[in-house]
Structure formats: structure tokens, C-alpha cells
Amino acid sequence: MRLTIPKETSVKRGTTLKHRTETTLTLERKMVTHHDVLTWDLERCVGCQIGPRVCPKEAITHIDGVVENGRMVKKLLVDVDPDKCVFCGMCVEMCPMRAITLTLNGEPYNPVIEQEAFPKLLKSTKFNKDRFDFSLKDFVIENCSANVISYDAEYHTMRVDQEHCIRCRQCEVASNGAFEVQQPWQGTVLLRRELCVEGCFACADVCPTRALHINDEGELVHADYYCIKCGACMQICPVKAEWEEYEVHFESQGVTYTRTHKRITNADKLPVLVERWRVRHTEVKSAAWLEALAKLADEKASQVEIDRKRAIRRRDLILALKGGKSYAKEHK
């Protein structure tokens, strides 16, 4: 009798495979010379607004959290469609929680950054040893919301894991200014407690920086100085935003683009509303950033940023004709 051995199921080269555990979400794609791996640290991820909005292929979607009796009992997360993801790296650069990594053949690599198709966000955390009272070192470490600060006994200094720092500014306050933090996003968070569901504090539970918290009087308050404008609070809030589509027109390298985006229609009814109106970044070199900006920022703020870029280009053209210097290069 002849035995038939079943053939192993083969995976077509270039197919994106998806693996999910309790702590990680991984997309993997093997080509002839390329091996791309995109990894989500689900323990760091808070299911914020940034990733799903910035993704040009709409491959990232939210997994709703669970709120019971006004408290979050299951955190927000994200999911990624392996058939849509193109491993562009936009989500990696924009993630406020530093929860996403992308590697090419085992080495860190971000295509949109390497190819100068997307800007790098300007952010930093600096430590001034001469200004620091080292009796506060344990206090500073305990107050770091991302657990990225440590004390180096050998060199008697404080260390910051810059790769995973979320720029929450807790260390600035705890150290009396010995740490200096530059956040990439500026904006506002409107907290209207009169519109909240009675007894609900889910936004305080999800907030990664403790900007939203419950004070000693048992009231929900927002400390804007610590806020990183991630929008996780809006995602967990039981009062949901309603959206409508609208067209966005922007110009890049002499070409006018039109895209369909979404905006909130019930902003006046939301207990918490996150508005982003300025971002610090390196020089823009493609239309990809302008489109991402239009998705991430307040509609009016997006147009201000786009109009500013156009004004700079016009000014540079005039200066070039006169033999002057580039405004853009002098004001990065």
C-alpha cells in the first residue's frame, strides 16, 4: 500500500502574515531580498486616534474598550488588516506611545523617513545634571508615566530611554525643571464635565500621562501641561463622535490633490474633545505629510499649516529671483 504524504501548505512570497498574542501584534512579509516585520507592543498601545487616522491605506482600526459602571475594565486596542498594510512606516513615526517598530532584515528601518517622503517629529527630553537635586531621583522615577527614567549610580546621573519616552512632562515638574521636554503636538483638550455620563471616569483610566485624573475631591480634571494629544480619551468615552465626509485640497510640487476626509459634526455635545493645531517637524518634502496632517489636526489648523507652506514657497521664489536666502532653510 502506497502512503500519500500531504504537502505542507505553502505561503506565497510577498504575502503578509499576521500573528497576535496577548502582548504583541506582528505583521510579517518575506520577499526575495526583503524581510519586513511590523510589531505593535500592545502593553504600550492605548488605542489612540493617531494610528488609524494617519494610515494612508486605512489598514488600522480600533478595537473598542469595555466600560462598566463608569470605569474601564478592558483597554482600547488596535487591529491591522494584513491585506491593506504596505509597511510604509507612517504609524511608526507618529505613534505617541512609541509602541510600534518596523524592521527590514532585522534592522530598524522606516521607508517614509529614509526616502524623505515624511517628516520626523521634533521631540526631545533633556536632563540638566547641574540643576537637579538628586534627593528627588526616586520621586522623578516614580512619576514617569512611561517608566523610561532610571538612575545611573556609576555616573551619578539620570538616564532616559529616548526611544520609548512619550514626552508627558511629568519629569519636568517632578524635577523642578532639571528635565526639559519638547512635545511635538500642540493643541487643546476641552473637558466639559456637565456633558459626562454620571459617574464615568473611563477617560482618566485610559489616559497614558495622567493628564486626565480624579482629584482629591473626586472630580475629573484635566492638566493640559501633561497631555500629549493622543485622543485615547475620546475613543473610550461612551459619548461617541459623529462624522461626516468632506473634501480636502492641497498642493505639493506643483500638483493639486483632492482627498476625502472626515470631520466631527457633534463637537458641542462631546464631554471631551481633542484638537491638534500645531506640530513640530522637519522639512516637508512630499504630499504624504500634508494629507496626514489634514487627517490628524483640526480642519482649520490644517489649512493654516498648508497655507504657511505655500507662503514660504512663494517667498523663497521671490528671494531666489533676487538672489536672497531661503526662508524655509532658516526657519526649520
Structural domain spans, the chain = 16-114, 124-182
> Which long-range contacts (C-beta less than 8 Å, at least 24 apart) are formed by 260-266?
261/294, 261/295, 263/299, 266/241, 266/242
Tell me what pLDDT residue 11 has: 63
Per-residue confidence at 285, pLDDT binned at 50, 70, 90? low
Paired sense of beta strands 157-160 and 77-80, if any? unpaired
Measured CA to CA, the distance from residue 329 to residue 324 in angstroms comes to: 12
From 3.30.390.30, 2.40.37.10, 3.50.50.60, 3.30.70.20, which CATH number describes the 124-182 domain? 3.30.70.20
- Of 18, 184, 11, 185, the C-alpha closest to 87 is 18
State whether residue 243 is helix, strand or coil: strand
Tell me what pLDDT residue 324 has: 46
- Of 222, 225, 184, 224, the C-alpha closest to 97 is 184
Is 75 within 8 Å of 47 (Cβ atoms)? yes
Tell me what pLDDT residue 298 has: 63
| pLDDT surpassing 60 at residue 228 | yes
State whether residue 208 is helix, strand or coil: coil
What is the value of pTM for the model shown?
0.81
**Amino acid at residue number 272:** V
Measured CA to CA, the distance from residue 198 to residue 201 in angstroms comes to: 9
Q: Which residue has the higher pLDDT, 258 or 47?
A: 47
Per-residue confidence at 322, pLDDT binned at 50, 70, 90? very low
Tell me what pLDDT residue 63 has: 93
> Helices (H), strands (E): how many in the chain?
10, 19
Is 241 within 8 Å of 234 (Cβ atoms)? yes
Cell of 168: 508627558
Q: Which residue has the higher pLDDT, 101 or 34?
A: 101
- Maximum distance among all Cα pairs of the chain, rounded to whole angstroms: 90
Q: Determine the average pLDDT of the residues in 98-113.
A: 95
Helix (H) or strand (E) holding 152: strand 149-152
Integer-rounded Cα Rg, in Å, for the chain is: 23
- Tell me how far CA of residue 330 lies from CA of 44, 169, 281, 283, in angstroms: 37, 28, 14, 11
Minimum mean pLDDT range among 50-59, 85-94, 140-149, 244-253: 244-253
- Of 20, 21, 39, the C-alpha closest to 29 is 39
Measured CA to CA, the distance from residue 267 to residue 246 in angstroms comes to: 16
Q: Which residue has the higher pLDDT, 306 or 208?
A: 208
Q: Determine the average pLDDT of the residues in 293-304.
A: 62
- Of 229, 232, 299, the C-alpha closest to 261 is 299
Per-residue confidence at 299, pLDDT binned at 50, 70, 90? low
